Structure 1
Amino acid sequence: MELIWYAVFALLLTGYFALEGFDLGVGLLLPLVGRNQRGRDRMVAAMAPFVLANEVWLVAVAGTLFGVYPMLEGEVLFGLYPLVVAMLLAWIVRDAGLWFRRRADGAAWRSFWDAMITLGSLGLAFGWGMALYAAATGFGSSLLHPVGLLLGVVVTLLLAWHGWTFLAWRAPETAGITRSGRALALSGVAAALPAAAVVGGALPYLLEHSAPSSTLSVLSVMVLPFAPVMVIAQVWVWRTFRPGKGPVRTLSFF
């Protein structure tokens, strides 16, 4: 049972990077690719249908972490407290930018919230790199360790590339180039590689710190039956908003 839940946790974590990663990547690219307001509107519209479905993966990761590995909760929150708070604030700022950018007219209003989207995306992307390094070193190193900062840069660049590939797949007129679904899958794998490496190296540690078998059995009965719903919803989103299903339109709420 411990191995099954480890596989579930690994799938959720890497799936988050592969899916939510392109949302963050598009946010990072807003000031670079979206050279005018119309261009930025189209970039946000391209990712808008996927944002909420992709964020569900992070909620599932957090729930699995604290349910399956409860003894790690204190280590994570204590060792990464400043970083966790900063990332939560970045998440709030990014989502606020997505929701508020079209709540009023005016170039200054839109530009401000577009900047918040980019700032929040940068905070999340860079923060994830630092968090992965801290997890790989047992939460014993400084958050400002040079290697952790370097990994933050690497993760940020990987997610930016993933976001650019997504735009080239979903809205090629915005990216200025066309990429296939296979290229998007490849960039998704690349975006998830740092997380996959960390969780793969942590296999013995995670198995050792799993919740008791009785707890895992209860979680399996209560949680796993809902997994197909999550998968079906994700498949529906991708089939509905894939390229060729109509032009990318700016959604009123994003």
Structure 2
Amino acid sequence: MEMLWFVVFALLLAGYFALEGFDLGVGLLLPVLGRTRETRDRMVAAMAPYVLANEVWLVAVAGTLFGVYPLLEGRVLFGLYPLVVAMLLSWILRDAGLWFRRRVDGPRWRGFWDAMIAFGSLGLSFGWGMTLYAAATGFTASPVHPLGLLLGVVVSLLFALHGQTFLGWRAPGAFGTARSGRALLVSGLLAALPALGVLAGAAPYLLEHSAPSATLNVLSVMVLPFAPVILGAQVWVWRTFRPGKDADRVPSFF
């Protein structure tokens, strides 16, 4: 049972990095590729249908982490408290930017919330890199370390690459070279690679410090039956909003 839940946790974390990674990547690229208001609107519109569905993976990751590996709760929440707070604020700012940017039709209002989308995306991307470094050290070292900062840069660059590939797939020709679904899959795997690398190194520790078998059995009965529903919803979103489904007719996030 411990191995089963480790695989589930690994898939959820990798899924979050691969899916939410392109949302954050598009946000990172907003100041770079979004030179005009129309371009920024199209970039946000491209990722808008996927944002809420992708964030479900983070909720699943957090629930699995604290349910299956309860001993890590204190280390993550208290050992990384300033970083966790900064990432939560970044998440709030990014989502607030998506929801509020079109509530008032003015250049300053739009510009401010577009900046919040970019700033929040950077905070989350960079924060995830620092969190992975802290996890790789067993939460014994401060994430504010040259290697932690370097990993933050690496994760941010991988997310930006993933976001650019997503834009090339979602709106072919509008943001440079059109990209295939296979290219998007490859960039998603690259975005998830740092998380998978840390999990591979932490596997012995996680398997040894899993929750008791009785707890895992209860979690299996209560949680795993809903997995097909989550996967089915993801499939529906991707099929409904695949390229060619009138993405350009939706000017922004609503």
TM-score range relative to shorter protein: over 0.9
Residue correspondence of structure 1 range 122-201 to structure 2 within 5 A:
122-201=122-201
- Of 243-252 and 1-10, more deviation after overlay is shown by 243-252
Unaligned runs of 5+ in 2: none
1:130 corresponds to which letter in structure 2? M
Please name the residue that 2:227 is paired with: 227
Q: Distance in 2 between matches of 1:252 and 1:238?
A: 18
Report the TM-score when normalising by structure 1: 0.98
Q: Distance in 2 between matches of 1:5 and 1:38?
A: 45
- Of 161-170 and 73-82, more deviation after overlay is shown by 73-82
1:111 corresponds to which letter in structure 2? G
Q: Distance in 2 between matches of 1:111 and 1:245?
A: 28
Amino-acid identity (%): 77
Q: Distance in 2 between matches of 1:247 and 1:116?
A: 23
Please name the residue that 2:16 is paired with: 16
Q: Distance in 2 between matches of 1:234 and 1:22?
A: 15
Residue correspondence of structure 1 range 68-83 to structure 2 within 5 A:
68-83=68-83
Q: CA deviation at 1:176?
A: 1.9
Report the TM-score when normalising by structure 2: 0.98
Q: CA deviation at 1:249?
A: 3.0
Please name the residue that 2:119 is paired with: 119
For the residue of structure 2 that corresponds to 1:243, the secondary structure is coil
Please name the residue that 1:88 is paired with: 88
2:130 corresponds to which letter in structure 1? M
How much is the aligned-residue C-alpha RMSD, in angstroms? 1.0
1:25 aligns with 2:38: no
Q: CA deviation at 1:142?
A: 1.8
1:38 aligns with 2:38: yes
For the residue of structure 2 that corresponds to 1:139, the secondary structure is coil
* Contact 1:44–1:250 under 8 Å retained in 2: no
Query: How many corresponding residue pairs?
Result: 254
* Contact 1:165–1:187 under 8 Å retained in 2: yes
Give deviations 1:200-220, integer Å, cap 9, x for gaps: 111110011100000000000
Residue correspondence of structure 1 range 205-244 to structure 2 within 5 A:
205-244=205-244
Please name the residue that 2:47 is paired with: 47
Residue correspondence of structure 1 range 92-111 to structure 2 within 5 A:
92-111=92-111
Q: Distance in 2 between matches of 1:35 and 1:173?
A: 16
Q: CA deviation at 1:174?
A: 2.8
Give deviations 1:152-198, integer Å, cap 9, x for gaps: 00000000000000000001233121000000000000000000000
Q: CA deviation at 1:244?
A: 2.1
Structure-2 change in CA distance of 1:194 and 1:42 (3 Å): same
1:215 corresponds to which letter in structure 2? T
Query: Runs (4+) of structure 1 moved beyond 3 Å?
Result: 251-254
Q: Distance in 2 between matches of 1:176 and 1:8?
A: 36
Unaligned runs of 5+ in 1: none
- Of 137-146 and 227-236, more deviation after overlay is shown by 137-146
